[in-house]
Amino acid sequence: MNAIAAAVAASERTHTGQVMVAVEADLPLDALWRGHTARQRAEQAFAQLRTWDTEANNGVLLYLLLADHAIEVVADRGLRSRVPEAQWAEVCRRMQQFLREGEHEAAVLAGIEAVTVLLAEQFPTTDGVQHEDELPDRPHLLG
């Protein structure tokens, strides 16, 4: 957990975006009853964790559903309009390589690294000025 929080903090020093990580062992019972997918649950987590609530609308949630070995990346509207879906899918593919081998922390760190590149391209820091850390850096354990 500390390595992930440190990676998020380091990432956010290179851009003005906000990175959040959420991990869930399995879908909650109500989500199962409703037939929700990992994507739908990730979107719920994005809202519940207020990842959307950033000044520049450039928050990103990396969501892992361990029971299904599912990974979802949910980007706020400021990023969705700038980064093609194929690039978000590539982030998921990178993470999936580690997740298949049971290397959960390595999967998250690879995701943070890939998202950092995208955020630094679209929302670079200006004049080396540190921006406000709007969201917590520590991963959220859901469920």
Domain range annotation of the chain: 2-142
Diameter over CA atoms, the chain: 50
- The whole-angstrom separation of Cα 7 and Cα 41 is 24
Q: pTM, whole model, 2 decimals?
A: 0.92
CATH 3.40.50.2300 fits 2-142, yes or no: no
Cα 86 to Cα 3, 73, 130: the distances in Å are 27, 11, 30
- The whole-angstrom separation of Cα 124 and Cα 86 is 21
pLDDT at 13: 92
pLDDT at 143: 80
pLDDT at 31: 83
pLDDT tens, residue by residue, 84-125 = 999 999 999 999 999 989 999 999 999 999 999 999 999 998
pLDDT at 129: 63
pLDDT at 64: 95
- The whole-angstrom separation of Cα 18 and Cα 58 is 6
pLDDT lower than 70: segments of the chain: 128-130
pLDDT at 115: 98
pLDDT at 32: 83
